[in-house]
Amino acid sequence: MRTRMIRAGVALAAALAQPAAPALAATAAPTPSPGAATVTKAGTSFLTATPITAGQPVHVGASTGDYLYWSFPATAGQIHEITATVAFPKGRTGASTWTVDVFDGLRRRQACTAGAQTPTAAASATSVPLGCTLRQVRSWAEPWSGDPLPGTYYLRLSVVDLPEPDLGLPIDVDLLVSDVGDGQAPGDDGELKAPLVPNTKAGTVLTGEPAAAPADEEQDGAGLDGWLPELSSRWIWTTVGGVLAAVAGVVGFALTRRPRRR
């Protein structure tokens, strides 16, 4: 009996001495597409947003306080994951809060289902990671639903809170938009007629004065119609008023005139 207890204790000690089984592997970080060219600029508004594609890396040098805009196309069935890192210089005076916002073609802000969308970096931090995973793009939806639809999407990176002395400090931004969807659109029994792309060329600007309409040849003639004014209600009432005023003057003069003495 004692021998069995000793063997059981030895087996338990050996089991405890073995290394624990590794935990579930963490999700691999998104990687750029092979051969994709790095984008080194960003826009400052929706109209000047720099176009990028899924899997194309972005590396931009900017200043703290700048609004950085990019745009990327989205089709039905895609799920886009946005990862960004903002690197700071030394000598910051306080903490700062950053945010990444995504808008669809109608400039509607799209919610994130995962990721650190608005993180805060401590004063001693050298960088801050940001992330946002969008909902799956639908092929069709009701106008009031606000669901993500195919079209051009806009990405904005900015700082929302920071000490005033840190405004304007140089930063380095690394950003990547990845497609993590399966490419299969959800069964919603519909299809969008056209992608949601804003019309940035609504019309043309006229730089010169419009040409005057040509004059009527009949009005240029030498007849009476060329210099007599057209008869209108204003002319009629003016004429009638003048005649009445003359008659009133004559009658008034006759009534107030003294008779002559013979």
When the pLDDT of each residue in the chain is averaged and rounded to a whole number, the result is 79
Give me the pLDDT at residue 35, please.
Answer: 77
* Mean pLDDT value of segment 176-200: 67
- Cβ atoms within 10 Å of 200's Cβ, excluding its own: 7
In tens, the pLDDT along 1-15 reads 444 544 555 454 444
Q: Looking at per-residue confidence, does 146 or 55 come out higher?
A: 55
Q: Looking at per-residue confidence, does 236 or 59 come out higher?
A: 59
Is the pLDDT assigned to residue 221 strictly greater than 70? no
Is the pLDDT assigned to residue 21 strictly greater than 50? no
Highest mean pLDDT range out of 2-16, 56-70, 183-197?
Answer: 56-70
- Range of weakest confidence among 63-77, 117-131, 212-226: 212-226
Under the banding of pLDDT at 50, 70 and 90, the label for residue 146 is confident
Give me the pLDDT at residue 121, please.
Answer: 94
Under the banding of pLDDT at 50, 70 and 90, the label for residue 117 is very high
Is the pLDDT assigned to residue 155 strictly greater than 50? yes
Under the banding of pLDDT at 50, 70 and 90, the label for residue 230 is low
* Mean pLDDT value of segment 179-207: 64
* Mean pLDDT value of segment 79-106: 93
* Mean pLDDT value of segment 152-178: 94
Give me the pLDDT at residue 235, please.
Answer: 78
Under the banding of pLDDT at 50, 70 and 90, the label for residue 167 is very high
Q: How far apart are the first and last CA of the chain?
A: 175
In tens, the pLDDT along 36-50 reads 899 999 999 999 999
Express as a percent the part of the chain with pLDDT over 70.
Answer: 67
* Mean pLDDT value of segment 193-221: 61
Is the pLDDT assigned to residue 234 strictly greater than 70? yes
pTM, two decimals, is 0.62
Give me the pLDDT at residue 158, please.
Answer: 95
Q: Looking at per-residue confidence, does 59 or 35 come out higher?
A: 59
Give me the pLDDT at residue 26, please.
Answer: 38
Q: Which residue type occupies 75?
A: T
Contacts of 70 (CB under 8 A, 6+ apart): 39, 42, 43, 49, 50, 51, 52, 58, 154, 155, 175, 177
Q: Mind giving me the DSSP string for the chain?
A: -HHHHHHHHHHHHHHHHSPPPPPPPPPPPP-PPTTPPPB---BSSSTTPEE--TT--EEEEEETT--EEEEEEE-TT--EEEEEEEE--S---S-EEEEEEEE-TT-PEEPPSBS-SS-EE-TT-SEEEEEEEPPPPPS---TTT----SEEEEEEEEEEE--GGGTT-EEEEEEEEEE-S-SPPP--S---SS-B---S-------SPPPPPPPPGGGGSSSGGGTSPPP-HHHHHHHHHHHHHHHHHHHHHHHHPPPPP-
